[in-house]
Chain A
Amino acid sequence: MSTHIRRGVRMWTVLFLLIASVPPLAAGYQIISVTLLPQEFYVGDRVEMRVTLRTTSAVDLLAPGRIPAVEWGEIHQVRLASRGLDWDIRIVLTSFQPGTRTIPPLDFGGIVVSDLTLHVPSILIDGRRDLASPQPQILPPGTRLWISVIAMVLVVVPLSFLVFLRWGRRSLAEFLVRRRERKPYRRFVRALSLLSQGVEQIDGREFYIALLEHVRRFLSSTLETDCMASTTTELGGHLNRLLSDDGDRQTVLSLFHRGDLVKFAAAPAPVDQRRDDISVLLSIAERLGAEHRSPQRNLHARRRKQRVGV
């Protein structure tokens, strides 16, 4: 009896172990959608097949560890993403043969997807077209634009330079010369205008200190010689170079002497005298500006007059 019992127990144990070793039944799935990207593709094109499937029970799927090889082409990649109960499978592949192709079963752990097919159209068969003749080498995008721009630069820049050399250079030089010549004059006139506004309020000594400093600055810029460190006598020498009119020269020198008297010998500086000095300086500076137009500018002016028949 005991032998029967032991046999029975052993049999039930073996039966239990057999039952336990049998894997549970695979979960079911339902393919919701299959999309191909791009939608229009032909043999040899790289295609992404997007499959959305829904499992019948909650299972954890895993991307297949090994991508199966196919004879008709190549499966490059298989990706898996969870969307709740749905799973998104993306299979990137290239088919080198036309026709309907079946993707080999893919084991995602909980399920094995084995009924995926796609139709690979042939441009020759389905499109009813002949093979195109060999095409020339394709240029990288934007090459034509760059070639056009460079060609334009190569043509336009030298052309502009030539045009500038012919007509623009003179005008520019003339403009710069005029501007440079007028700059000290403009600054001088502005300074004298400011000084004349306060001619009655300012002390005589301070007035001549400021006035003579402005004149020195003006002479420095006009003569391109530093007159700030020149004494009145030395300025006399500089003025010989600048002023052709002897009367103007003497006037400016007298002004400097008068200024020195006011500055260093406390000589009186009546307001009328100050006003006169400002107006005399302005008129001399104006004459000077007209006199000292560069010879080139005068030549241009003459040419212009000749052109218009003046």
Chain B
Amino acid sequence: MTAATSAPIISAKAVTRAFDDRVVVDDLSFDVHQGTILGVVGPSGSGKTTTVRMLTGTLGRTSGEMHVLGEDPMRFSKRVRGRIAYMPQLFSLYEDLSAQENVGFVAALYGIGPFRRRKLIRRALELVELTDARHRLARDLSGGMQRRLELACALVHSPEVLFIDEPTAGIDPILRQAIWGGLRKLRDEGRTLLVTTQYVSEAEYCDRVALIADGELVAMGEPDALRQMVFGGDVLQVETARAVDPELLVSVPGVTNVRQTAPRTLMVTVQDAATLTPRIIDELRAGGVEVAGIEEHQPTFDEVFTSLVEKRRADRGWADDGTGQPRIQADG
């Protein structure tokens, strides 16, 4: 991975996009450095696709600055266009063309001649494991295969920067893993990827994650750092032989939070799990409680995301009224 000190390949500064009076992306800022995967994670309608479309130059922005490979997307030169790729959220290829023909068509859009094209088509189809299906018409491919075909089309001209919108939407978990494996392979080749997903758990696969809700950046960082940020440290799951009073651990130095999730289960947030695990066992024993098991708990990204969004909404005085739209919570 390239150091974050190099100039960012993708950057957004205070970007806002409004459709009439409705603000869809609000004051968004982030950088993406070469050879990294930035996962833009958020629920459906949170502004992910709008962000990607603005970055690819397919949608104008209302205010703010954006740069990809040093150029403003609204004024991309042909040279930069040839170095980026975009995989749209919806299947937009030609159903009456075979997989191979679709990839070939996209390659030709980038001015690749027929002889070089043949080799690149083969390589792109191999990468997404569609070689055997190359002669099948796109309409005869399964949903997962169509997503992979879209990916092959995005990869065929060997782009340096890829904008991939919801590559795993509607795809089974096994195939989702395979797709992420392919994306990480591309990252390892030195390419820069900006990938959107509504599956919060997929944040695990990214080098950095931008959590978006209601068009705003909720948090941004490496997945583990985000976890730390949410829970204030490492989380230990402690199982005891009998019911336990959580107050036993509250005063232990280094323990920041204790939650009882069941009569004999405690979730203990500590500054450093490695050093505090023996201390917690000792404290419980001293209180007459035997420890049946203790292990570090990895909170899922769903938990991280939910916590962050709820915290943000609470800070703003919003509450979820079930409509998916924020509302102002009544005083008192």
A-B complex is real: no
